[in-house]
Amino acid sequence: MELRFTEEQNMMRNMVREFAKEKIAPFIEHMEAGEFPREIIKEMGELGLMGITIPEQYGGAEMDFMSYIIAIHELSKVSATVGVILSVHTSVGTNPILYFGTEDQKQKYVPKLASGEYLGAFCLTEPSAGSDAGSLKTRAVKDGDHYKLNGSKVFITNGGEADVYIVFANTDPEKGSRGISAFIVEKDTPGFIVGKDEHKMGLHGSRTVELTFEDMRVPAENLLGQEGEGFKIAMANLDVGRIGIAAQALGIAEAALDEAVAYSKERKQFGKPISFNQGIGFKLADMATAVEASRLLVYNAANLRQLGKPCGQEASMAKLFASKTAVDVAIEAVQVFGGYGYTEEYPVERLFRDAKITEIYEGTSEIQRLVIGKHLTN
Ligand code: CAA
């Protein structure tokens, strides 16, 4: 199957490639040292990347979903950190407001998110509710024209840096996941406390924090959708979000493959480039085949989404396969580089560390299998 892209989509790919090469690549060492790429986000906002798929009426670029996936894919080839910042901001930070918000909520938040003036985040996971997201304990109690939220969240991507958070809390604990509601929370809300900054294996420029809500008063008008609709809002946006993470994994895998191929042609041992050895050639062949299969799965899921067709199963398949490919290909790339691959001097070491999280966040590989299995048997 040949993937065909429109002229507009190809222009997007070229623009993002150029931007990543010119602006992101030189900043990688700063991100590796833990610096959050604020300036890059600002420039991405100016280029329309922070609101790629957002309708023009809400200040976005109103491009199609494929263009968004192309952007995540291309950004992640250079920096998986920038890839995840954009993916979380868009698919689970902004889209819930666009799809489930009232007109007032959309007018108030979406244009600022689309321009990059605001950064978005998504607060579902808790210390005791990871894969079992429906068991979250954060409590929201209606109190006049406000809700009072108490609880804590962990592993919040963009946390502390973001301006707007989609927060999930239980308004009716007896109803379990059917009692979960979603709220739009601004970071300067009293009682919103940014906690521990995680020191992660990879994605060093992306910020991941704990959040605590202590009697945090959220205006009732910031309830997103109806009370009790929160879990479905989370799941529906994760269905689509997972295509973004799959595209991020594809970018990492492709970058690792490109590095390994180039190095194998340069590095000489026993008087010839190591690419002449079948042991290396077979490795590269397996890596390239897995990358190609990932590409087809990612763009197939994206195409279904674009056509407005159900894509939950295909999104999970794309994420499951592309994330495993990213890990496998990055490990093999380190092997092709040998001792040099284990040093920070070459990018494969970073790609290897960045790859692992794609098998964990936005639903572990085990959860993706569970979702796929449910689709097959329901
Ligand atoms: N779309 C809409 N509704 C859905 C849905 C979907 N994809 N999946 C489930 N639902 C609905 C069901 O229809 C059901 O509705 P009713 O109560 O009306 O019957 C309800 O939600 C509960 O469904 P399940 O019984 O299937 O739910 P469950 O408790 O068994 O959990 C799960 C399902 C798939 C395991 C889910 O808990 C899950 O996805 N877990 C993983 C959590 C996750 O992905 N976390 C990521 C955190 S965000 C992140 O990582 C961002 C980042 O930093 C990068």
ipTM of the complex: 0.96
362 a catalytic residue: yes
pLDDT value at 36 more than 90: yes
Which of 229, 344, 362, 366 does the annotation list as catalytic?
362
Atom of ligand 1 lying closest to residue 88 CA: 54
> What is the percent of the chain where pLDDT is above 70?
100
Residue 3's pLDDT band, with cuts at 50, 70 and 90, is confident
Ligand 1 pocket member 133 (CB < 6 A): yes
Q: pLDDT tens digits for 349-363?
A: 999 999 999 999 999
Residue 15: other Cβ atoms inside 10 A: 17
Question: Do the Cβ atoms of 71 and 11 come closer than 8 Å?
Answer: no
CB of 120 within 6 A of ligand 1: the answer is no
Q: Rounded to the nearest whole angstrom, what is the distance from the C-alpha of residue 237 to the centroid of ligand 1?
A: 10
Domains of the chain and CATH, by start: 7-119 (1.10.540.10), 121-230 (2.40.110.10), 231-377 (1.20.140.10)
Helix (H, G, I), strand (E, B) or coil at 279: helix
Which atom number of ligand 1 is nearest to the Cα of residue 125? Answer: 47
pLDDT digits (tens, 9 = 90+) for 272-301: 999 999 999 999 999 999 999 999 999 999
CB 108 within 8 A of CB 135: no
From ligand 1's centre to the CA of 179, what distance in Å? Answer: 13
For 11, the token pair is 């222009």
CA of 235 to the centre of ligand 1 (A): 4
CB of 257 shorter than 6 A to ligand 1 = no
**Contact yes or no for 67/220 (Cβ under 8 A):** no
DSSP result, 10-75: HHHHHHHHHHIIIIIGGGHHHHHTT---HHHHHHHHHTTGGGTTS-GGGTS----HHHHHHHHHHH
